[in-house]
């Protein structure tokens, strides 16, 4: 229960889904958590839950597309807890109704996606770095996606901005590794969050599951556990990496037979 003892972390997008799971897991492991989200009620509820469980958490209302708001978020964490050890730049995504193939792409949605996914990550990292360095180094955990590693028939903006998040991760790792700061990304595959469940019909969810090597979809906790590991000193020799957490979706050859279990032993 002490994997993040004495550490202070900020998780953006912590009001729901994966970010919520990460914040709760980190709170349970002893961190002081700034639960940062656009949705003030959600942030309050998650922070309250962590507190009820005996952890330390403070809610914070942030808009990660507004650099002043991001700067104030970092200062609040340091003001509350006196230091900063990890920042999870988790907010991201695009609107699937506007993020289509290139010829049908809404360019305003592309610009919004850059702000929400990439600029937010740069801004959070810039404001956190001096505090992380002061604390003797620390960990930045960015949320990418397998979409940033592959091509797809839709959501070209999403793929492009998540690829940019991966690139930023490597540059920050190289530029600030000498000061003791680590920077890694998680690249989730399909994860059963409220957003996924509410936006996709059951047959599409079933199809997504069918692409995995494992016979199930991930939960927010599956990704949150990897974020916890990356925030902790257990990953102290790990930087500039993209950890793919996708149930084996991207390891499968397209030529692999449909899942049906391993062949029976001969005889």
Ligand X SMILES: NC(=O)c1ccc[n+]([C@@H]2O[C@H](COP(=O)([O-])OP(=O)(O)OC[C@H]3O[C@@H](n4cnc5c(N)ncnc54)[C@H](O)[C@@H]3O)[C@@H](O)[C@H]2O)c1
Of 143 and 232, which CB lies nearer to ligand X in the complex structure?
143
Does 141 interact with ligand X (rule: CB under 6 A)?
Answer: no
Which phi and psi angles does 191 have, rounded to 5°? -125, 135
Surface-to-core class of residue 107, CB atoms within 10 Å of its CB (0-12 exposed, 13-18 middle, 19+ buried): exposed
Closest approach of ligand X to the CB of residue 90, in Å: 5
Residue number with CB closer to ligand X (65 or 225): 65
**Interacting residues of 151 by C-beta distance below 8 A, sequence separation 6+:** 159
Active site residues: 158
Query: Which CB, 192 or 238, lies closer to ligand X?
Result: 192
Residue nearer to ligand X on the CB measure, 129 or 144: 144
Burial status of residue 105 (CB atoms within 10 A of its CB: 0-12, 13-18, 19 or more): middle
Minimum distance from residue 205 beta carbon to ligand X (Å):
10
Q: Which of 188, 209, 222, 232 binds ligand X (CB under 6 A)?
A: 188
Q: Which region, judged by CB under 6 A, interacts with ligand X, from 49-57, 193-201, 234-242, 258-266?
A: 193-201
Contacting ligand X (CB under 6 A), which of 45, 133, 163, 196? 196
Distance CA 201, CA 111 (A): 28
* 216: nearest Cα among 204, 206, 225, 224: 206
Q: Which is nearer to ligand X, 118 or 173 (CB)?
A: 118
CA distance 138 to 88: 11
Residues 110 and 157 sit within 8 Å (Cβ to Cβ)? yes
Q: Mark residues 72-111: x for contact with ligand X by CB under 6 A, - for none.
A: ------------------xxxx------------------
19 contributes a contact to ligand X by CB under 6 A: yes
Residue 195 in the binding site for ligand X (CB under 6 A)? yes
Which of the residues 201 through 260 are near ligand X (CB under 6 A)?
Answer: none
Member of 31, 42, 172, 228 binding ligand X (CB under 6 A): 42
CB of 266 to ligand X, least distance (A): 39
Residue from 139, 155, 169, 193 touching ligand X (CB under 6 A): that is: 193
| 16 in contact with ligand X (CB under 6 A) | yes
Rounded distance, CA 6 to CA 231, Å? Answer: 12
Show contacts with ligand X in window 46-75 (CB under 6 A): 62-65
Site residues (CB under 6 A) for ligand X? Answer: 12-13, 15-19, 37-39, 42, 62-65, 90-93, 116, 143, 145, 188, 190-191, 193-196
């Amino acid at each position: 229960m002490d994997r993040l003892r004495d550490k202070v972390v900020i998780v953006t997008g912590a009001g729901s889904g994966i970010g919520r799971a990460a914040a709760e897991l980190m709170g349970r492991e002893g961190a002081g958590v700034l639960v940062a989200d656009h949705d003030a009620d959600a942030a309050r509820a998650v922070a309250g839950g962590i507190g009820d469980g005996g952890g330390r958490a403070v809610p914070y209302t942030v808009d990660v597309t507004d650099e002043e708001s991001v700067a104030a978020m970092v200062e609040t964490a340091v003001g509350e807890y006196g230091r900063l050890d990890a920042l999870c730049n988790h907010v991201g995504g695009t609107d699937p109704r506007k993020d289509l193939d290139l010829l049908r792409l809404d360019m305003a949605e592309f610009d919004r996606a850059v702000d929400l996914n990439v600029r937010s990550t740069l801004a959070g990292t810039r404001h956190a770095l001096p505090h992380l360095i002061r604390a003797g180094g620390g960990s930045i955990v960015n949320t990418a996606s397998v979409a940033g590693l592959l091509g797809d028939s839709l959501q070209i903006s999403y793929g492009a901005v998540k690829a940019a998040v991966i690139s930023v991760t490597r540059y920050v790792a190289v530029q600030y590794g000498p000061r003791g700061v680590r920077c890694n990304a998680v690249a989730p595959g399909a994860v059963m969050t409220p957003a996924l469940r509410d936006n996709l019909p059951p047959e599409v969810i079933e199809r997504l599951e069918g692409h995995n090597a494992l016979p199930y979809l991930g939960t927010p906790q599956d990704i949150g556990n990897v974020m916890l590991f990356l925030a902790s000193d257990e990953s102290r020799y790990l930087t500039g990496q993209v950890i793919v957490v996708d149930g084996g979706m991207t390891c499968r050859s397209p030529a692999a037979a449909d899942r049906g279990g391993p062949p029976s032993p001969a005889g």
